[in-house]
C-alpha cells in the first residue's frame, strides 16, 4: 500500500471516529473533539486528493579541481557558484530585472578586465563607479558589495576565478583564466588571494 493510501486510510478512520463520537457520545467537550476530528480528517483527505509533488533538492555541486579539464568546465562551475555559494544573484541580475538591487552584469566580462573583476570581488571599495544609476526610484534595500573572499561568503581563489570565467563566457568573451592558475590541494598556491584593505579609495568613471 502506498504512503498516500495509508494516510487516506488514517484520515478516513479519523473522520469515522468523529462521526461515531457525534452519534453516540453525549458529553459536549468530547463531541466538540469529535467535530474537530472530522474537520481535520476532511482537510487531510482533501490535501491527499490533490497532486502530490515533493520538491527534491538538486545534486550538491562541489568544486573538485580534478573535474576541471577545460576553461569551459571552470565557467560551468563558476555559473553554479554565481547562483549559489557566491550569493551574487541575491543582488545582481544577468539582463534587465525589476528585482535587481545592484548593477546588471550582462556583458560585464567584456566591459571589464579580469584583474579589475578580481579586485572588485576582493576589494569592493577600491573603486566606486559613479555612473551606475538605477532607473526610477532608489531601491529600498541598498546593498553594499561584500568582500567575496571573506566570511560569510568566503569564496576560495579557485572559486573566484571560476566565477570570472563564467562572467567572461556569458559575455561572449574568450576565457582568460588558465587552468594553471588554479590552486591544487597539497601544493603551494601559485598566486594567493590578496585583499589589500589599505588600498587608497579611488573613484573611477566607467568608460
Partner 1 sequence: MQQRGGSIQRIFQAIDGHGGWLTGLLLVAGSLILPSIGIAAEGTTAGPTEYRDIPYVGSRNLVWVVAQLHLLLAGFVLGVPIFAWLCEIVAWKSGEKRYDKLAKEFTKLLTSAYATTALFGGILLFLLIAFYPKLMNYLTDIFFPSFLVYCLLFLLETATLYLYWYGWDAMQDGGKKTFHVFLGLLLNFFAFFIMVVPNAWATFQASPVVISEGTAIERAWAATWNPTWWPVNIHRLIANVVLGGYICGAYAGIRYLSARNTEERDHYDWMGYVGNFIGVFGLLPLPFAGYWLMREIYQYNQQMGITLMGGFLSWLFILQAMLIGVLFLGSNYYFWLGITYRIPGSEMKYRRPMLSMLVILLLCLAVWMTPHSLVASLEEARKMGGTHHPLLGVFGVMSAKMTVANLMILVTFMSFIMYWRAGKAETAGWGKVARALMSGVLVLASIAVVILGVWGYFVPAIIRINYFSTSQVLIVIFVMLTITPLTALLLKSAKTTTEMVWGRMPPRAGYSLVLNAVMVILLMTLMGYARSSSRVHWHIYGVMRDSSPYAFSPALGSAAVLMALNTFFFCMLVAFIFWVATMGDKAKATHGGSGKGELPHGIPAMAGGAPAREGKQ
**Residue 160 beta carbon to partner 1: minimum distance, rounded to whole angstroms:** 16
> How distant, in Å, are the alpha carbons of 116, 132, 163 from that of 174?
16, 26, 14
State which H helix or E strand residue 76 sits in: helix 71-83
Binding segment (CB under 8 A) for partner 1, from list 71-79, 82-90, 108-116, 155-163 = 82-90
**Residue 140 beta carbon to partner 1: minimum distance, rounded to whole angstroms:** 7
DSSP string, 129-186: ESS---SSSPPSS--PPP-TTSTTT---HHHHHHHHHHHHHHTTPPP---GGGSPPTT
User: 64: which 3 cell numbers?
Assistant: 573538485
Question: Does residue 90 interact with partner 1 by CB under 8 A?
Answer: yes
Question: Does residue 53 interact with partner 1 by CB under 8 A?
Answer: yes
Q: Print the binding letters for residues 18-47 with partner 1: x by CB under 8 A, - otherwise.
A: ----------xx-xx--xxx-xxx-xx-xx
Give the footprint of partner 1 on residues 151-190 (CB under 8 A): 152
Specify burial of residue 115 (Cβ count, 10 A radius: 0-12, 13-18, 19+).
Answer: exposed
Q: Which parts of this chain interact with partner 1 (CB under 8 A)?
A: 3-4, 7, 10-11, 28-29, 31-32, 35-37, 39-41, 43-44, 46-48, 50-58, 60, 83-85, 87, 89-91, 97-99, 140-141, 143-147, 150, 152
Amino acid at each position: 500500500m502506498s504512503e498516500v493510501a495509508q494516510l487516506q486510510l488514517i484520515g478516513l478512520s479519523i473522520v469515522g471516529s468523529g462521526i461515531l463520537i457525534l452519534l453516540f457520545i453525549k458529553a459536549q467537550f468530547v463531541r466538540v473533539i469529535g467535530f474537530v476530528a472530522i474537520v481535520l480528517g476532511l482537510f487531510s483527505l482533501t490535501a491527499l486528493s490533490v497532486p502530490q509533488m515533493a520538491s527534491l533538492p538538486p545534486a550538491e555541486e562541489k568544486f573538485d579541481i580534478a573535474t576541471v579539464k577545460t576553461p569551459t568546465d571552470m565557467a560551468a562551475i563558476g555559473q553554479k557558484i554565481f547562483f549559489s555559494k557566491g550569493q551574487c544573484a541575491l543582488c545582481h541580475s544577468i539582463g534587465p530585472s525589476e528585482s535587481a538591487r545592484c548593477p546588471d552584469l550582462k556583458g560585464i566580462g567584456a566591459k571589464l578586465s579580469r584583474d579589475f573583476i578580481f579586485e572588485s570581488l576582493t576589494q569592493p571599495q577600491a573603486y566606486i563607479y559613479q555612473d551606475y544609476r538605477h532607473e526610477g526610484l532608489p531601491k529600498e534595500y541598498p546593498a553594499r558589495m561584500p568582500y567575496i573572499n571573506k566570511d560569510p561568503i568566503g569564496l576560495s581563489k579557485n572559486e573566484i576565478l571560476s566565477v570570472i570565467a563564467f562572467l567572461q563566457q556569458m559575455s561572449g568573451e574568450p576565457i582568460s583564466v588558465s587552468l594553471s592558475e588554479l590552486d591544487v590541494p597539497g601544493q603551494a598556491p601559485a598566486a594567493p588571494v590578496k585583499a589589500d584593505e589599505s588600498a587608497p579609495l579611488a573613484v573611477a568613471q566607467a568608460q
